[in-house]
């Protein structure tokens, strides 16, 4: 029997809000309802909702993103809070043992985290990916999931990027190179 989890990757104010420090803007804002609806659906079916969320520290000279991007998703800031309707959804459901919020510090939700252990303990074999950015954190998470033999489902109405060409390329890559189902 297939065990499934929904991953909501980096859906925070810094990545989604117009005032976010590294925002995807309107494309990311337009997927808000889809993400929350999927989260509701997964919980109603007793499936897992996992929220891997970027966590960075200002001026960390050892982190490669410090050279590439402005400070974002800093601890205890508005920017790191979940965007829009997802924050109240999480507040309402965070005590449900099928909802897991986790920190990540690299593009992939697997890099340096216990995500693989969490999934294996729960016998999860299929990952549904949503969030931002399609061609960065969602892509790197999908690649690591593929290399760990997870089945992949990408919800095209639940992913977004600031780069439309990168978004389209990643959707094609998920399907053609990672064998993902695109819904």
- Residue 123 belongs to a domain with what CATH number? 3.40.50.850
C-alpha–C-alpha distance, residues 132 and 159, integer Å: 6
* 3-state helix/strand/coil string of 135-161: HHHHHHHHHHHHHCCCEEEEEEEEEEC
pLDDT at residue 103, rounded to an integer: 97
pLDDT above 80 for 19: yes
Q: Which two tokens stand for residue 175?
A: 């399907």
Q: Can you read off the two tokens belonging to residue 161?
A: 């990027």
Total number of domains constituting the chain: 1
Q: Model confidence over 110-137: pLDDT tens digits?
A: 999 999 999 999 999 999 999 999 999 9
Residue 1 reports pLDDT greater than 80: no
Q: Range of 123's domain?
A: 4-182
Output the pTM of the full model: 0.96
Mean pLDDT of the chain: 96
State the Cα–Cα distance between residues 35 and 27, nearest whole angstrom. Answer: 13
Query: Is the pLDDT higher at 1 or at 10?
Result: 10
Please state, in angstroms and rounded to a whole number, the distance separating the CA atoms of residues 65 and 70. 8
Q: pLDDT per residue over 60-103, tens digit each?
A: 888 788 788 888 888 999 999 999 999 999 999 999 999 999 99
- Angle formed by the axes of helices 86-93 and 32-44, to 10°? 20
Give 83's DSSP letter: P
Of residues 42 and 70, more confidently modeled: 42
Note the pLDDT of residue 68: 81
Q: Which SS3 state, helix, strand or coil, does residue 43 take?
A: helix
What are φ and ψ of residue 169, in 5° steps? Answer: -60, -45
Whole-number pLDDT of residue 61:
84
- The answer to whether the beta carbons of residues 24 and 83 sit under 8 Å apart is no
What sign has the CA pseudo-torsion 174, 180, 182, 183? negative
pLDDT digits (tens, 9 = 90+) for 44-57: 999 999 999 999 99
């Amino acid at each position: 029997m297939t065990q499934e989890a929904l991953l909501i990757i980096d859906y925070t104010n810094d990545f989604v809000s117009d005032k976010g420090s590294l925002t995807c803007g309107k494309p990311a804002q337009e997927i808000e309802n889809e993400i929350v609806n999927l989260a509701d659906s997964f919980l109603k079916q007793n499936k897992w909702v996992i929220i891997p969320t970027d966590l960075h520290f200002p001026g960390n000279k050892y982190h490669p993103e410090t050279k590439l991007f402005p400070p974002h998703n800093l601890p205890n800031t508005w920017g790191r809070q979940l965007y829009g309707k997802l924050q109240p959804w999480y507040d309402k459901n965070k005590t449900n043992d099928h909802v897991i919020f986790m920190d990540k510090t690299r593009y992939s939700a697997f890099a340096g985290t216990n995500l693989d252990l969490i999934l294996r303990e729960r016998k999860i074999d299929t990952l549904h990916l949503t969030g931002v950015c399609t061609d960065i954190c969602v892509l790197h998470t999908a690649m690591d999931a593929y290399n760990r033999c997870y089945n992949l489902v990408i919800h095209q109405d639940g992913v977004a990027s600031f780069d439309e060409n990168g978004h389209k390329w990643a959707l094609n890559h998920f399907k053609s190179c990672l064998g993902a189902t695109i819904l």
